[in-house]
Amino acid sequence: MKREAVSATRLLVLGGVRGFGRAHGYEVRRTLLSWGSDEWANVNPGSIYHALKQLTKEGLLRAHEAAGSSAGPPRTDYEITAAGEAEFLRQLREALVTVDVRRPELLTAALGFLTELPRAEAVGLLERRLEALAAFRGEVAPHLAWESGDHLNELLDWWVTSADAATAWTRGLIGRLRDGAYVMADEKPDDGADERPRGSGEADQRGA
């Protein structure tokens, strides 16, 4: 199967279905829109339903046709397949390490599923993000030339400043994860309950 480019829509829809286990398209749409994904990722109802059908066509989701009843018309439920699980994790990993000023929504989508990764892997991916940020800054910074009087230097300076801020934030997240923040995929109870280990997480660190 062709490897699709990392996409916030594919990641969000696969992750949305995966989180439910089995869900009707309306449930997935309602959840994603409640996250504001239509604002920060341009994931609108039409693109969600299109993604559900396309991912099913690719064998990443399995569709179940449910008969109608007095409670409502026939509907289609979706569940993620083994191939879909692998694609979800691939998209998540790539989104975490991708630094692209044209697609800031990739990181936002990935952060919504950060705890679906083992702790050590999440830290490793974020360290790769630091490398990508350093490379991006290294490409842009040499072109700054304030003495030229060119107003486009403001754009270059914005990119450099943004890279510096993103680097500081990424290092902070790495530190929080190393200190035990959040319940990661390799630490979740078998029953799926979201139980935070004693003495870990940001709430504990802040004295909450």
d(CA 4, CA 13): 14
The strand order across the sheet containing 23-24 reads: 23-24, 75-80, 61-66
Buried b (16+ CB within 10 A) or exposed e, 104-128: ebbbbbbebbbbbbebeebbbbbee
* pLDDT 10s digits, 80-129: 999 999 999 999 999 999 999 999 999 999 999 999 999 999 999 999 99
Non-local (6+) Cβ contacts of 49 within 8 A are 25, 29
Non-local (6+) Cβ contacts of 2 within 8 A are none
Amino acid 67: pLDDT: 66
**Token pair belonging to 49:** 């339903």
Amino acid 206: pLDDT: 36
d(CA 192, CA 38): 28
Model's pTM, two decimal places?
0.84
Of the candidates 69, 83, 65, 28, the one whose C-alpha atom is nearest the C-alpha of residue 50 is 28
Count CB neighbours of 151 within 10 A.
7
**Token pair belonging to 52:** 């559900």
Residue scoring higher pLDDT (60 or 143): 60
Domain positions in the chain: 1-66+75-115, 117-188
- CATH number for the region 1-66+75-115 comes to 1.10.10.10
d(CA 208, CA 189): 23
Q: Is the pLDDT of residue 202 over 60?
A: no
**Token pair belonging to 180:** 């035990």
